[in-house]
Structures are given as structure tokens and as C-alpha cells.
A = this chain, B = another copy of it.
Amino acid sequence: MDYNQLFEQIKRKKSFLCVGLDTDITKIPSFLLTEDDPIFEFNKRIIDSTIQYAVAYKPNIAFYEAHGVSGWKSLEKTLNYLNLVYEDAFVIADAKRGDIGNTSKMYARAFYEALRCDAITVAPYMGKDSVVPFLEFKNKWVILLALTSNESAKDFQLLNIKDSESNLFETVLEKSKEWGNKDNLMYVVGATQAEHLKEIRKQVPDNFLLIPGVGAQGGSLKEVAENGMNDYCGLLVNSARAIIYADSSADFDRNAGKKAQEMQLKMAELLKAKGII
């Protein structure tokens, strides 16, 4: 999916919601455990009930890898389902990969080709040659970790760099602009980092930002939109727990849909306020 197609989806659905498929077998409704593949079944129902309100889905790969081969099967089935039934959905593998060049290329093939994801999250620590192999696939995206939502983000990301006006995450933004552009590169910026969002938006005015941390982790949607939205929206706001575990009854999917709709309605207001819809 390219930049314009993503923007069209956002306008059509009046939403920049990404649903995080952090599917944990110990947290899904217990009646699903009798299914052949409870994780896939859960995901399928969550997707069906939220697809009207969400432009993107983000399976967190750890939750699937934790179950080995069977987890990987659930992941493949989930991604196949998204690709076959809802081809307009933007699919992000939240994998936080990054390795020497030939290895990054293997990861890129795994997630872009075998699993047909649109995007993958990548960690920047190893520098340019660990990221560029992911940027070489047409209409596929790197979502580079910039300023993450966790408390310890400050340990390294906020360190000031000598002989510069920048800290580490700003240096990551600056250098990575030489490797990619708004058409193949997004950034992860935690919603808990709203005070930095305005500056980040100045530094990368056109790139999409993937914003985790709204909801369970405490970030505010309104603040994120005020500080981070650009003329093409430029935001994908992720919510996982607050939507997918809203309820554990037989109606869990309908209630997840309601939670997604609540967020979508707020997002529509924010898109209107910006004159996008």
C-alpha cells in the first residue's frame, strides 16, 4: 500500500486507528479455547468486528513466537485472512527487527513476502546497513523506532549527543531521512511522549508516525493529534488491550467493535478539526 492509498483509507473510514493484535492465550475468552486455533479464531472475530473503524492491524510477533510452530501458524492464518478478506487493511508486523545486511534482508523477505505485511517495525541501533535492506521493497514500509512509549526510553533515546543540538532519537530521525522518505519510512513515537511530538513533527513533517501507548499505557489521543497530525493525517494510533480485551463474554467481539468505534468517532472529530474530512 502506498502513501496516497493509506491516506484514502483514512479519509474513507474517518479513522487512523490501528488495532494491536497482541493476542495472549491467557487473556482471550475461555470459551474460545475449545477451537482448533483459538488465537486465530479470536483475531478473526476481532478483525471482523473492528474493520469498519480501523485502517491498520498490528500483530505483535512476540505473542505468536511464544507458541513456536503453532503460534507461527496462527500468525500466518491471521495475515492470510487479512490479505484475502480485507485487502485494504494496512498490516504492520511489530517485530522490532534489525541485523547485519544479509540478515535484515532475510527478515524483510519473511515479513513482506512470505507473510505479505505492508510494514515492519525496525530497531535503529545497528545503523544504516541494518535498515536499508527493508527499504528496498516497493510499496513496503519500515517503521523505525524513534522515541518509544516505555519508561526506559530515556535510558538511551534521550541522551544528548556531543557537538550537536540533538539527542539520540533526534539523530536517528535526522540520519534516517537520508535512507528513506515519506513513501517508505514511518517512525514509532510513543503517545506517552506528547511533549516531544511537536518537535518531531517539525523534524519529519511528512512521514507517518505510528503511535503506541494510547489507552492502557496512558497517552492521550487529543494531545497526540494536536501535536502530531499533518495535512495527510500522518498518524496511525495503535490501541491493543483497551480494544481487544474490552470484554471476555461471548460478545467480546461486539464490545471490541464498540471500543474501536468510540476511538474512531473521536478520530473523526480530530480529522474534521484539521479539515481533512
Contacts and interface: CB of A to CB of B under 8 A. Distances in A.
Interface string A44-71: 0000000000000000101101111101
Interface stretch (A1-9, A106-114, A199-207, A269-277): A106-114
Contact of A150 (B69, B100, B114, B154): B100
A102 to B, nearest CB: 8
Interface string A65-97: 111110111001000000000000000000011
Nearest to A97: B96
B63 A106 contact: yes
Contacts of A118: none
Contacts of A152: 126-130
A12 interface: no
A103 interface: yes
Contacts of A253: none
B150 A130 contact: yes
Contact of A73 (B63, B69, B110): B69
B65 A107 contact: yes
Contacts of A115: 68
A63 B108 CA distance: 11
B124 A156 contact: yes
Nearest to A62: B106
Given A101-B150, A148-B100, A161-B161, A156 B66 contact: no
A145 interface: yes
B168 A103 contact: no
A98 B110 contact: no
Contact of A66 (B24, B67, B110, B125): B110
A60 B103 contact: yes
A94 B68 CA distance: 16
Interface in A135-161: 145, 148-157, 159-161
A243 to B, nearest CB: 16
24 contacts: A22-B103, A62-B107, A63-B106, A65-B106, A66-B106, A66-B107, A67-B110, A68-B114, A68-B115, A69-B69, A123-B123, A124-B156, A125-B157, A126-B145, A127-B152, A127-B155, A127-B157, A128-B155, A130-B152, A159-B161, A159-B162, A160-B162, A160-B163, A161-B161
